[in-house]
Amino acid sequence: MLLSILTMLLAMDMGTGYAIMGSAIGAGLVAIGAGVGIGQIGGRAMEAIGRQPEVAGRVQSIALVIAALIEAIALFGVVICLLISFK
């Protein structure tokens, strides 16, 4: 299995190999960016709830919507990277 994958990669021209490597790096950066973004949202939401506990429900719902939007953007980025690698 591994030998067939290596043989396939060696048979490709250099442009295809660079595209696959670039798309893999791009997908990794998208995942890291989404993780950092959602971590920032969670931290800031907890800070806001700690400062004003009476608005906890509103802050939580807004943070959930923003986290979902970040996940959607990250999924879009990964799909674009996969499309590049399979081209």
What is the mean predicted confidence (pLDDT) over 74-80?
A: 93
Q: What is the pLDDT of residues 32-59, one digit of tens each?
A: 999 999 999 999 999 999 999 999 999 9
Which residues neighbour 10 within 8 Å (Cβ) at sequence distance 6 or greater?
A: none
2 is a domain residue: no
CATH of the domain at 25: 1.20.20.10
9 is a domain residue: no
In whole numbers, what is the pLDDT of the chain averaged over residues? 87
Task: Count up the domains in the chain and report the number.
Answer: 1
The pair of structure tokens assigned to 61 is 């719902």
Q: Is the pLDDT of residue 77 over 80?
A: yes
Q: What is the structure's pLDDT at 46?
A: 96
Q: What is the structure's pLDDT at 22?
A: 84
6 is a domain residue: no
